Structure formats: C-alpha cells, structure tokens
Chain A
Amino acid sequence: DADVTQTPRNRITKTGKRIMLECSQTKGHDRMYWYRQDPGLGLRLIYYSFDVKDINKGEISDGYSVSRQAQAKFSLSLESAIPNQTALYFCATGGGGTDTQYFGPGTRLTVL
C-alpha cells in the first residue's frame, strides 16, 4: 500500500462549488504539506502543518483552507472554486529526523 494517498485522483467541478481534497499517510510523520503544480511553475506551497494544532499559510494560500483532522490526515478545501485553480495538487509528508518529503500521487482538479 502507498505511504501517502490522495482522494480523489481526478475531479471536474464548476465555478463556485466547494471542493475538498483529502490526504492520508501511514509513515507516522508529523509534517504535512499541500502543493499546487502548474506547467512551467514547478510546485508551490499552499499550506503546511507540523501537527494537529499547527497550521501555516504557504506561498499561495488565498482561496484555500485546510484541516488537520489527525496526525495522519490533512485536507485541502476550495471554498468557492474558480477556473484558475485548475491544477495538479500534491500532498506530502516529512519527518523522522530528515528533511526529505514524500509525495502522494496527486489530484488533478479541473474547474469549469
């Protein structure tokens, strides 16, 4: 089984809809991250969390919110989706005394 899972893997929605992307990890890591990937821009950090009570905004948090329901679960929400939020979204985890991050398979989101 994969260490970091994301659901859904693909989602098509309409402008104005609320969307939640979910991430779960079995690595026992404290740190979790949400990134967005756009062509030619690499990955940009949306939110990150060190534990359930520690949530921080990243480089591009506007229009997004997150919830750390448990050490192993970190959800990303788009309260009112807009077309320029069409992108590939990745969840990642880190911890265990190393600065390496481990990525999920990604969620491809299309906002029409």
Chain B
Amino acid sequence: GDSVTQMEGPVTLSEEAFLTINCTYTATGYPSLFWYVQYPGEGLQLLLKATKADDKGSNKGFEATYRKETTSFHLEKGSVQVSDSAVYFCALVSGGYNKLIFGAGTRLAVHP
C-alpha cells in the first residue's frame, strides 16, 4: 500500500540555520503531496502542497519540490526562526476518498 517515510527527529538548529527534512513516498500513480505543521498544543495546518511532478510548493519561506524520479518531497527553508519550532508531517493523498497517509512526523527545535 501507499506509504510515507520521513527523517526521524528531533532536529535541533540554531536560528538562521538551513533546514532540510527528508520525505520519500511509495504510491500507486502520482498522488498530491503535502507538508503539514503542528505547533505546540495545536492541530495540524497545511504548510504547502504540490499536485504533480516538478511542482514546487512554497509558503512562509518553506519550499518542497515534487520529485517523481526519486519519489521525494523534501522540505527546505533557508533561514529558520525560533517560531518555526513545531512538528512537521509529510503526507500524500490516497484513494478515491482523498485519504491522507502521513509520515511519522519530525520535531524541529530552533534555538536563539
């Protein structure tokens, strides 16, 4: 079945450092891909998405490119801030009911 694998955390960075969180997927066909973010004590919110190969999703300085050849959707940000501290989930949509399949989540901690 469809699945998502993302790098284990926690990831600890200093403010203004470069961030990469790796995500790879296994799926039938070409699903839409997502990054969701969960801030402490809150629900998940969509960070960015891409619907087809070579699409780049971007939001709040974060970017991810849909790479069909490597089945990857890595999340990047050039300069992280303390306020980016959260858990990040990679996900794909699967099946006719638009079910989301999530990775395990990666906790990011950014220190001043």
Chain B: which residue is nearest A42 at the CB level? B102
Are B42 and A105 touching (Cβ within 8 A)? yes
Interface size, chain B (Cβ < 8 Å): 21
Quick one: given A42-B103, A42-B105, are A50 and B97 in contact (CB under 8 Å)?
Answer: yes
Q: Which of B36, B43, B93, B105 contacts A99 (CB 8 A)?
A: B93
Distance of A14 Cα from B58 Cα, bound (Å): 44
Distance of A105 Cα from B44 Cα, bound (Å): 8
Name A's interface SS: strand
Q: Which of A4, A58, A99, A102 contacts B98 (CB 8 A)?
A: A99
Are A48 and B93 touching (Cβ within 8 A)? no
Residues of chain A touching chain B, judged by Cβ–Cβ distance below 8 Å, are 4, 31, 33, 35, 40-45, 48, 50, 56, 58, 90, 92, 94, 99-106
**What would be 5 A-B contacts, judged by CB atoms less than 8 Å apart?**
A31-B97, A94-B98, A99-B93, A99-B98, A103-B44
